[in-house]
């Protein structure tokens, strides 16, 4: 991946996944994974690839760094994306909506920028990290505000964008990376809170609000496994599971980053953490689930290093980051992410190289022993291109989608050589039920929507189903009048999959 620190910082916030399913739909197309020529910009648009749409928020700078983070599909088939956009030296929340055919929806947004809406923070950074749709049609954005100490915030917007209607803020030291609407219309925010044992650090945080942003309850969960102790949730999912005697409504799964004691070399050690909490109608409304995780604790840390070392002896020191979470009706968890590493010989000072991984667990957090690829540890599959891996380039999986027959779809980055220059491009592929890659489905945007002389990257950060097809949102780096800009980019991928009802509504 590019070493551009601003772009990498924005990618860090881009965590999440919304699934919207059109049941039993079948579309026949030329090849699975190809871009849909009926979507987005016409083929006659100079420098833009058919099947994609670039969104420029029009801030006037040729060096703007706008980063899309999450994607939402409305019931009417429109797509809303949220992210962080450059606004005069500070980050602001950027919202944009497009029609189902990939054209900008000019009924949405600000008068000066139809189809787009920018919320400024008055000289303070606001990041657009997650998005949820309320029953009344309003959007709620999960944000972290960059005061002297960060604060998590939920901000509600009208159905057609524009000026926010309410803005609630959590305590200093908090962060909100994700938000979802529960079946009863309440909101669940996820991220970080000031640490219980180490107040200068952070712990996993789930916060429950009503539909108007009124606080109801919270659950702060510590791991305290060493290192910096800066642990935080990145993605959440809810599964309905009503139990009348206990007044349980369902379960919340949360994935994120957990620090461990540093390696003997001095390198930081970060792994992927998971918690499972029951949601109840009586206080406390959020409770760790004792049937899940290590020692009936309701929490679990994935051991990516051990799984990797089962198949490879190089790059033994790495950092794992959870990016995507999907859950089937059988309760199985599919977690996608990245394993950064400190070079093949562990001698790099920072973990700049990476590859994608997927882990599959049952509802209690036990690894699925039938799921793996090559000779890696049970329950884990690692995905990388041999050429780019040998070159120390970036690959990662940012989101995961589970297809009804048990075949998962993954999207993320792959390092590729296009136009005779080394660049990163968005990558969507389909895995088999056992964890190997399905060779019949793949997409790499090597015909990237930029000029042939430009060296840049695309990244697919989030995705949703759309009537048998896949729509992704991400970022594209391109050269503009001697400046380097990053913009939102939508893409729609064709598929002939038949989707079953192997999903719970609401995720």
Task: List C-alpha distances in Å: 347 to 315, 316, 341, 352.
Answer: 9, 11, 10, 12
Percent of the chain clearing pLDDT 90 (strictly above): 48
Tokens describing residue 262: 């540093």
- Are the C-beta atoms of residues 205 and 193 closer than 8 Å to each other? yes
Residue 442: predicted pLDDT:
64
* Structural element, H or E, at residue 309: helix 304-309
pLDDT band at 25 (very low <50, low <70, confident <90, very high): very low
Q: Is the pLDDT of residue 77 over 90?
A: yes
Q: What is the mean pLDDT of the chain?
A: 81
State mean pLDDT over 3-18. 31
Q: 155-159, 173-177, 212-216, 326-330 — which is least confidently predicted?
A: 326-330
- Are the C-beta atoms of residues 449 and 489 closer than 8 Å to each other? yes
CA distance 264 to 248: 44
Q: Is the pLDDT of residue 416 over 70?
A: no
CA distance 163 to 418: 41
Residue 248: predicted pLDDT:
97
Residue 320: predicted pLDDT:
93
Higher pLDDT, 375 or 62: 375
pLDDT band at 277 (very low <50, low <70, confident <90, very high): very high
Residue 465: predicted pLDDT:
78
Q: What totals of helices (H) and strands (E) does the chain contain, helices first?
A: 3, 29
Residue 345: how many other CB atoms lie within 10 Å: 10
Q: Is the pLDDT of residue 345 over 50?
A: yes
Helix (H, G, I), strand (E, B) or coil at 296: helix
* Structural element, H or E, at residue 53: strand 52-55
Point out which residues pair with 255 in neighbouring strands. Answer: 235, 274
Peptide bond into 306 cis (omega under 30): no
Which parts of 390-496 are beta strand (E)?
A: 396-402, 408-418, 421-431, 437-444, 458-466, 469-480, 483-493
State mean pLDDT over 380-395. 71
Rg (CA), the chain: 21
Ramachandran angles phi, psi of 141, nearest 5°: -110, 135
Per residue, what are the HEC states of 105-161?
CCCCECCCCECEEEECCCCCCECCCEEEECCCCCEEEEEEECCCCCEEEEEEECCCC
Residue 263: predicted pLDDT:
95
State mean pLDDT over 239-252. 96
Tokens describing residue 478: 């391109």
Residue 471: predicted pLDDT:
87
pLDDT band at 461 (very low <50, low <70, confident <90, very high): confident
State mean pLDDT over 135-142. 96
Q: Is the pLDDT of residue 388 over 80?
A: no
* Structural element, H or E, at residue 242: strand 232-243
Q: Is the pLDDT of residue 408 over 50?
A: yes
Ramachandran angles phi, psi of 452, nearest 5°: -60, -25
Q: Is the pLDDT of residue 425 over 80?
A: no
Identify which of 476, 471, 495 has the alpha carbon closest to the alpha carbon of residue 487. 476
Task: List C-alpha distances in Å: 173 to 156, 191, 195, 228, 229.
Answer: 22, 11, 9, 14, 13
Higher pLDDT, 496 or 502: 496
Q: Is the pLDDT of residue 71 over 70?
A: yes
Q: 44-53, 145-154, 328-337, 419-428 — which is least confidently predicted?
A: 419-428
Tokens describing residue 256: 């994120």
Give pLDDT tens digits for 353-385: 788 899 999 999 999 999 988 889 999 998 876
- Are the C-beta atoms of residues 371 and 435 closer than 8 Å to each other? yes
Residue 483: predicted pLDDT:
58
Point out which residues pair with 168 in neighbouring strands. Answer: 154
Residue 326: how many other CB atoms lie within 10 Å: 24
Give pLDDT tens digits for 166-222: 999 999 999 999 999 999 999 999 999 999 999 999 999 999 999 999 999 999 999
- Are the C-beta atoms of residues 504 and 239 closer than 8 Å to each other? yes
CA distance 356 to 340: 9
- Strand-strand pairing, 90-98 and 458-466: unpaired
Residue 479: predicted pLDDT:
61
Q: Is the pLDDT of residue 250 over 50?
A: yes
State mean pLDDT over 31-43. 73
- Are the C-beta atoms of residues 290 and 278 closer than 8 Å to each other? no
Residue 297: predicted pLDDT:
95
Per residue, what are the HEC states of 202-224?
EEEEEEEECCCCCEEEEEEECCC
Residue 82: predicted pLDDT:
96
Percent of the chain clearing pLDDT 70 (strictly above): 76
State mean pLDDT over 291-295. 94
Place of tokens 């609000």: 209
* Structural element, H or E, at residue 68: strand 67-73
Residue 394: predicted pLDDT:
66
Q: Is the pLDDT of residue 496 over 70?
A: no
Determine the distance from the C-alpha atom of residue 436 to the mean position of all C-alpha atoms in its chain, rounded to a whole number: 22
State mean pLDDT over 93-103. 95
Place of tokens 């959007």: 139
CA distance 57 to 105: 14
- Burial class (CB within 10 angstroms; exposed 0-12, middle 13-18, buried 19+) of 283: exposed
Tokens describing residue 185: 């219309």
Q: 9-18, 140-149, 259-268, 422-431 — which is least confidently predicted?
A: 9-18
Residue 8: predicted pLDDT:
31
Residue 409: predicted pLDDT:
77
């Amino acid at each position: 991946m590019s070493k551009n620190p601003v772009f990498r910082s924005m990618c860090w916030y881009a965590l999440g996944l919304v699934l919207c399913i059109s049941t039993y739909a079948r579309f026949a197309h030329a090849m699975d994974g190809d871009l849909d020529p009926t979507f987005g910009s016409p083929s006659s648009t100079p420098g833009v690839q058919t099947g994609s749409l670039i969104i420029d928020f029009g801030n006037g700078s040729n060096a703007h760094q706008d980063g899309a983070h999450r994607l939402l599909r409305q019931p009417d088939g429109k797509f809303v994306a949220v992210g962080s956009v450059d606004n005069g030296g500070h980050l602001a929340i950027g919202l944009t909506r497009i029609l189902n055919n990939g054209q900008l929806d000019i009924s949405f947004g600000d008068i000066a920028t139809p189809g787009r809406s920018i919320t400024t923070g008055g000289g303070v950074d606001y990041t657009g990290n997650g998005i949820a749709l309320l029953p009344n049609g309003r959007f709620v954005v999960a944000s972290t505000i960059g005061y002297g100490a960060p604060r998590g915030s939920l901000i509600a917007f009208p159905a057609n964008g524009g000026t926010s209607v309410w803005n609630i803020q959590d305590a200093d030291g908090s962060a909100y990376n994700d938000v979802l609407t529960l079946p009863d219309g309440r909101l669940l925010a996820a991220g970080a809170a000031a640490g219980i044992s180490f107040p200068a650090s952070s712990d996993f945080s789930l916060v429950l609000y009503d539909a108007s942003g009124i606080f109801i309850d919270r659950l702060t969960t510590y791991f305290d496994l060493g290192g910096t102790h800066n642990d935080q949730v990145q993605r959440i999912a809810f599964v309905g599971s009503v139990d009348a005697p206990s007044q349980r409504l369902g379960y919340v799964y949360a994935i994120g980053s957990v620090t461990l004691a540093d390696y003997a070399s001095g390198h930081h050690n970060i792994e992927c953490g998971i918690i499972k909490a029951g949601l109840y109608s009586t206080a406390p409304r959020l409770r760790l689930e004792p049937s899940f995780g290590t020692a009936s604790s309701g929490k679990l840390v994935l051991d990516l290093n051990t799984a990797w070392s089962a198949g490879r002896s190089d790059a033994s020191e790495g950092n794992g980051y959870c990016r995507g979470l999907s859950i089937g009706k059988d309760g199985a968890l599919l977690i996608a992410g990245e394993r950064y590493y400190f070079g093949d010989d562990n001698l790099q000072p920072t973990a700049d190289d990476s590859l994608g991984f997927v882990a599959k667990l049952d509802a209690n957090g036990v690894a699925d022993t039938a799921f793996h690829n090559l000779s890696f540890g049970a329950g884990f599959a690692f995905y990388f291109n041999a050429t780019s891996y040998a070159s120390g380039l970036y690959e990662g999986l940012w989101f995961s989608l589970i297809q009804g027959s048990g075949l998962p779809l993954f999207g993320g980055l792959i390092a590729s050589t296009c136009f005779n220059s080394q660049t990163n491009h968005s990558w969507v592929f389909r895995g088999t039920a056992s964890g190997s890659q399905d060779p019949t489905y793949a997409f790499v945007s090597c015909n990237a929507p930029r000029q042939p002389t430009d060296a840049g990257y695309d990244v697919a950060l989030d995705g949703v189903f759309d009537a048998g097809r896949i729509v992704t949102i991400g970022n594209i780096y391109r050269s503009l009048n001697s400046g380097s800009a990053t913009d939102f980019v939508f893409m729609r991928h064709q598929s002939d999959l038949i989707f079953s009802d192997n999903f719970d509504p609401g995720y």
